[in-house]
A and B are shown apart, each in its own frame.
Chain A
């Protein structure tokens, strides 16, 4: 039954993944010196990762992807009334929730991780740009990659909370800005990662509580 749920979640979110992958592809092609709209290419003179261009594009696309994906998996079910149909199936609510979030996080981390890795591998190839490359240059982007999970969980929490989306229901989504701050501050990477994981744990606990305690009128 988990397989059926996984297939359903994938079918419902595939278009969001395609859009996000398209946006990442467009951004990376630009960063590696190819202009997709003009069909021309330039030499890359800036230093990958250090110049901040990748991080800027990455955080915008990944954050939008995380929010849309999470709301599609949560708020959409309530809006269409299908949450009642789904919750009545003979399977525990915890398992439904676990499958939904596992698929969502796998798609989010997989797609964003692939974009990050593609650019990093290009940057690591000698002769592609006029600067040295060390993997340590990618740490800030890697931490930002992990910062997408609290954004996803905050958006998911907003999606499953009852009420209108533009009221207090949106607080968790707004609070998801905090991980951006954590990921950006000049602190040891491991400390930042630990903070992000703590926020994730808080988000998971809140989601679990809301799913169990809310009404589905």
Chain B
């Protein structure tokens, strides 16, 4: 069984940064105490892409984003937004980037209209018509007090304020956190409809895979502060397979091999999670003693793939099926 430290990468793996990439990080590292919460993260987000930044709670997504936006200083490594060092972003560069912080912090004492007036004062470019359309779309009154709005409505106000300056790059830190399923879906669909235009780059973090699958064309998966995956969403989905080996009796051990993420026994079956299951791996399975009576390769959706990839080694399940029933 492989460990978290040796998790295999999907085949296409990380891309090299090219000039003009709006987001580039190099060996970005941050320690809290002795723990590396972000560990040597190197990624580059191509222009015009929607990048889903995934990871379980505490994986280091927010810390990475805060380093990207210059809110947190990295202990080592560097990050650049629109070609400029994140720690020394000029106000003019920041005007071209929208950042939605986790929890949508806004001044609660303001009304929606006051929040608009306050935010507008900082920008030379401000699309009032677009803002009006977004507020109309979400049915938000300018007179509404922010403190009286639901989490979903606050997220909508944050989005409207972020979009109005017509940014080239959007960085959204878990924008759907705390929203219920229906509101989340509505918000995401609206978000993509509103903000996606040619050349605009979006990076958004989430731990809800369905959200990412729907909108991201490239994903990064952070596991314990390490960027394990950085590839197109389809490549990740296609690379990860569940392989179920069925045996006549207790399943034998499966030898460690390249691409094996986890392995567990369920009754007479051994369930394996593989990155890139090919002929070589199939031959290893066929040569096991006793030989499996069936080898089933199961496709996984992004959510299952993510769970299997990030949960790490699992213990085998106890064999309930063979227990005698005492009625």
Contact = CB atoms under 8 A, between A and B. Distances in A.
A91 B106 contact: no
Contact of B91 (A82, A85, A90): A90
A12 interface: yes
B184 interface: no
A52 interface: no
Contacts of B95: 90
A89 interface: yes
B72 A4 contact: no
A159 B196 CA distance: 39
B93 to A, nearest CB: 8
Contact of B103 (A3, A12, A81, A87): A81
Contacts of A4: 117-118, 121-122
Nearest to A3: B121
B66 A216 contact: yes
A213 interface: yes
B91 A91 contact: yes
A216 B121 contact: no
Interface in A35-84: 80-82, 84
A215 to B, nearest CB: 4
A120 B106 CA distance: 43
Q: Which of A4, A82, A215, A216 has the most CB of B within 10 A?
A: A215
A215 B122 contact: no
B142 interface: no
B103 A90 contact: no
Interface in A197-217: 213, 215-217
Q: Binding site of A, secondary structure by majority: helix, strand, loop or mixed?
A: helix
A160 to B, nearest CB: 14
A10 to B, nearest CB: 12
A82 B118 contact: no
B128 to A, nearest CB: 16
Interface string B100-143: 01010111110000000111011100000000000000000000
Contacts of A3: 121
B92 interface: yes
B105 A84 contact: yes
A84 B71 contact: yes
Given A4-B122, A90-B92, A80 B71 contact: no
A48 B230 CA distance: 75
Contacts of A82: 105-107
Contacts of B123: 90
Interface string B72-115: 11000000000000000001101100010101011111000000
Given A85-B106, A89-B119, 20 more contacts: A1-B121, A4-B122, A7-B118, A11-B109, A12-B109, A81-B101, A82-B105, A84-B71, A84-B105, A87-B71, A88-B99, A90-B92, A90-B94, A90-B95, A215-B71, A215-B73, A216-B66, A216-B71, A217-B66, A217-B71
